[in-house]
Amino acid sequence: MKKIKVRLGERSYDVLIGRGLIGDCGRIIKRLRIGTDAVVITNPRVAALYKKSIEKALKRDGFTVRFELVPDSEKAKSLSTARSILNRLSRYDVNKRIFIIALGGGVVGDLAGFVASVYRRGTPYVQIPTTLLAQVDSSIGGKVAVDLSVAKNMVGSFYQPRVVISDVSAIKTLSLRQIRNGLAEIIKYGVIKDSALFKYVESNYAKILKLDMGSIEYVVFKSVGIKAGIIARDELDRRRVRAILNYGHTMGHAIEAASGYSGRYDHGEAVALGMRVAGRVARGLGLIKRSDAVKIETLIGKVGLPVAIKGIAAPKIYAAHLHDKKFTRGRNRFILAVNIGNVRIIDGVADSAVRNALRSCIDN
């Protein structure tokens, strides 16, 4: 098992990465002394796979266990789902010391973290991420939220978990599409901070796609280390440090929004397309060498992520990008690679540069 500490003073916590950790979660959580009564928030698909083993592991260490099942889709990240869980929790919570476990992908993690952040003004919670994307990204950093109809993640806060238990064996049951979604975020980490990680993925992506556990453990470990370092310097996303995690996300979010969250593109796929657009913007501004931009595009294609935007018109994506909640006073913000391993935050990229880059990535 590998361990990375997210250093946030009294809110510090460990991210544990290893194989078979779900079966050990009772012992790990017991040491934290955060309660005696576990409420596991998950969905039917993940419950079918891991309910028995997590229940056994928790009961073995003396915890009581209750499951709260939510629908399996982004729709679960809603105020109405949160409200029904909160109502049921409050009725159940008699003579108990409740803590929450988020067992699932990013959807369950964001929702369960949000519920934990508001229940009794804050209830301890544990992340047990079961998708590659959640293991490398959403389970760390404490951004918890639900969606509103106008946009995703509009109601939320920063609320850190007490521990993150990343059982890499859990991802064996994911679809190839979900593995690729996680790879998009891993490539992102390589481009923003770590050329060695980027090179590792270039040489080992075939092993990763075949679920070679050693390679997966390595890329999860490296990615978590990068994210943990960034979070420790800018927990609340105020110091222009955490912003670099949004590389590929400016247009990625716009692509997701313009497709009406229809499922045409998953989050990781949209981020891959967003990285491509960002590369074209950076090329247009002369920030990055052609060879580096090509390397990024090539790797995205090799792992099987989409390389051209299909079925959504450029003006629709352009319009959606204007609503980015990170933009201030009408100025857009792009995270642009200057080479592999380094990015710059650029505010106020000219409209024409954005439109040209976007158009060059559309294939209708």
Q: Report the candidate in 310, 328, 315, 218 with the shortest Cα–Cα distance to residue 269.
A: 310
Residue among 217, 211, 150 nearest 175 (CA): 211
Site for ligand NAD in 162-221 (CB under 6 A): 170-171, 173-174, 178, 181
| Sign of the torsion formed by the C-alpha atoms of 79, 39, 125 and 51 | negative
Which residue in 6, 41, 46, 312 binds ligand NAD (CB under 6 A)?
A: 46
Q: Which of 81, 123, 130, 215 binds ligand NAD (CB under 6 A)?
A: 130
Q: Closest CB to ligand NAD among 134 and 219?
A: 134
Strand partners, 337: 343
> Which residue in the shown chain puts its C-beta closest to ligand NAD?
106
Query: Given candidates 55, 68, 74, 235, which one binds ligand NAD under the rule CB under 6 A?
Result: 74
For CA atoms 229, 234, 236, 240, the dihedral sign is negative
Rounded Cα–Cα distance for residues 135 and 19 (Å): 13
Distance CA 102, CA 54 (A): 12
Q: Which amino acid is at 326?
A: K
Site for ligand NAD in 137-166 (CB under 6 A): 137-138, 141, 143, 152-153
- Give whichever of 43 and 123 is closer to ligand NAD, judged by the CB atom: 43
Positive/negative CA dihedral, 222, 263, 42, 210: negative
Nearer to ligand NAD (CB atom), residue 13 or residue 295: 13
CB of 336 to ligand NAD, least distance (A): 20
Q: Is 303 helix (H, G, I), strand (E, B) or coil?
A: coil
State the minimum distance, in angstroms, from the CB of residue 66 to ligand NAD.
Answer: 20
Interaction site with ligand NAD (CB under 6 A): 43, 45-46, 49, 72, 74, 77, 104-108, 110, 130-131, 133-134, 137-138, 141, 143, 152-153, 170-171, 173-174, 178, 181, 267
